[in-house]
Amino acid sequence: MPWFKKAKKPKPVRGPLRSTVPEGLWVKCEGCKEVIYSKELTKNLRICPKCSHHFRIGPTERIDLLLDDGPRSELFSDIRPVDALGFSDSRSYRDRLKSYQRRLGVKDAVSVLTGEIEGLPVVLAVMNYLFMGGSMGSVVGEKITLAAEEALERRVPLVVVSASGGARMQEGVLSLMQMAKISAALARLADARLPYVSILTDPTTGGVTASFAMLGDVNLAEPGALIGFAGPRVIEQTIRQSLPDGFQRSEFLLEKGFLDLVVERSEMKATVARCLRHLAAGRPAQGRPAEGRPAEGRPAEGRRTAGQRSA
């Protein structure tokens, strides 16, 4: 009988409902959609243990992945960007630069270091996609050019890790000029028969792909990396045709001859070292930096810049 049953009223909810699972504890894979324990993902070099999808990693992780544990020295860290064109919109370019510099602790979207890869001395440049999408402005172009010149002076190989959305629109034609400047520096490196290895990661697009990222003696890429000039959606709208599966991914480019190897992240250091040994075979012995040369590169007053040094 219904009058012998006591209806239970729901207890009132006090405040908004909150999840008891800490934020960031689990990560959903973009490839297989599996939910992965974040510590397990980090331990596996941010590679999905289910489908081997390569998550993006930052420049610090990339540097630790490639360089030996020995001494390292960062070069050209005092170069910073300025708003040379007076670019302004709802949020000024200068304010955005200060915000990224304060949040990430770096001055622009590339870091240049000296170190060793399996005992081989190298100059390493690593782009930072977190800094304005790794866009190539005057500072990025200048630092990679100086990295090539440093490798030339030290008689050591150059390794560049690209991760970029292309040229930085806030610097207009100044950003586009970096394509030619870096390419000219790499040509001088090639004339000296010094190896240049280019590593393309997800994503590498725009003017970076159209210049130094594709000019390596050996072009390597991580699995599934987006590599191209214009994006797939722009290309489809332009040619009004559907693109094939996997278009602009590293495996597709390897099949078409744009890349030399697609390498798992865990094998990247050993592969780069093997390529450098092969390219260095029969070439003049690698030298040391000139005596009296400071660890941080050229003195500030003697360094060639794009005319955009901060005060």
CATH number at residue 259: 3.90.226.10
* Residue span of the structural domain in which 30 resides: 26-55
Residue 193 within a domain: yes
Residues 163 and 108 in one domain: yes
Check pLDDT > 60 for residue 91. yes
Residue 207 within a domain: yes
If we measure between CA atoms, which residue out of 293, 236, 263, 286 comes closest to residue 120? 286
Calculate the alpha carbon distances from 268 to 67, 85, 106 in Å. Answer: 11, 39, 25
Residue 68 within a domain: yes
- Average confidence (pLDDT) over 253-261: 96
Angle 275-228-126 from CA coordinates, rounded to 5°: 50
How far apart, in Å, do the first and last CA atoms of the chain sit? 87
pLDDT in the model for residue 306 = 39
Q: Could you tell me which residues come within 8 angstroms of residue 275 by beta carbon, excluding any fewer than 6 positions away?
A: 195, 197, 217, 218, 220
Residues 160 and 40 in one domain: no
Residue 5 within a domain: no
Q: Any idea which of 60-69, 108-117, 206-215, 292-301 has the lowest mean pLDDT?
A: 292-301
* pTM for this predicted structure: 0.84
Residue 15 within a domain: no
Residues 219 and 261 in one domain: yes
Q: Could you tell me which residues come within 8 angstroms of residue 182 by beta carbon, excluding any fewer than 6 positions away?
A: 141, 144, 145, 148, 211, 212
Mean pLDDT across the chain: 87
pLDDT in the model for residue 75 = 97
Residues 167 and 37 in one domain: no
Place 231 in a pLDDT band, splitting at 50, 70 and 90.
confident
- Average confidence (pLDDT) over 257-261: 97
Check pLDDT > 80 for residue 310. no
Residues 33 and 165 in one domain: no
Percent share of the chain, pLDDT over 70: 82
Residue 297 within a domain: no
Residues 230 and 123 in one domain: yes
Residue 306 within a domain: no
Residues 85 and 191 in one domain: yes
pLDDT in the model for residue 232 = 87
Residues 241 and 275 in one domain: yes
Check pLDDT > 90 for residue 267. yes
Percent share of the chain, pLDDT over 90: 77
Residues 159 and 241 in one domain: yes
Residues 111 and 149 in one domain: yes
Q: How many domains does the chain have?
A: 2
Residue 261 within a domain: yes
Span 160-192, pLDDT tens digits:
999 999 999 999 999 999 999 999 999 999 999
Residues 40 and 123 in one domain: no
Residues 161 and 192 in one domain: yes
Rounded to whole angstroms, how far apart are CA atoms 106 and 78?
10
Rounded to whole angstroms, how far apart are CA atoms 125 and 148?
9
Choose between 21 and 86: higher pLDDT: 86
Choose between 13 and 218: higher pLDDT: 218
Check pLDDT > 80 for residue 5. no
